Amino acid sequence: MVCFIPSTNNPIILHRFVSDLLEKLKEEMGSHQYYMNRCTMLRARLREQQAKYQEQLDVLGQELQQSRTNPPPAGGANECVVCMENDVEVAFVPCGHFCVCVGCAAGLAQCPICTHDVERELRVYMS
């Protein structure tokens, strides 16, 4: 706020000037207070949202960890977990997961169940 102080020694003019200046300051402080209250409210909302998203993230992390240690069974007992069309025919070394068909195994560098690197593929024949 820019203001010019009157160059007078008249107490009435100086009193009016100071009163007007105080009134303007009160108005500005009121608008600043409004925005400070608004910011405080928005900050509280953001903290609530952050807490909510953190809870969701924690749940998803737990679900991911569970799926890695206890993978859900495939739709069919012998169904490839990648294409879900062909029968399971390949086991991965070293993890030992028996979960994909020959066609899908060819394109995998990691096991789709545990994400271990595949060192070797072992073709399994079921009789």
pLDDT tens-digit profile, the chain (127 residues)? 556 666 777 888 888 888 888 988 888 888 888 889 999 999 999 999 999 999 999 999 888 888 777 765 555 678 999 999 999 999 999 999 999 999 999 989 999 999 999 999 999 987 7
Is residue 124 within 8 A of residue 98, CB to CB? The reply is yes
Is 54 found in the same domain as 15? yes
Q: For residues 84 and 19, what is the distance between their CA atoms, to the nearest angstrom?
A: 81
CATH code, domain carrying 107 = 3.30.40.10
Domain count for the chain, please give it.
2
Cβ atoms within 10 Å of 111's Cβ, excluding its own: 22
Q: Does residue 3 lie in a domain region? A: no
Q: Does residue 1 lie in a domain region? A: no
Is 99 found in the same domain as 122? yes
Give Cα 38 to chain centroid, integer Å. Answer: 25
Is 118 found in the same domain as 85? yes
Q: Of 36, 53, 70, which one is at a domain's C-terminal end?
A: 70
Query: How does strand 98-100 pair with strand 90-93?
Result: antiparallel
pTM: 0.41
Structural domain including 49 reads 10-70
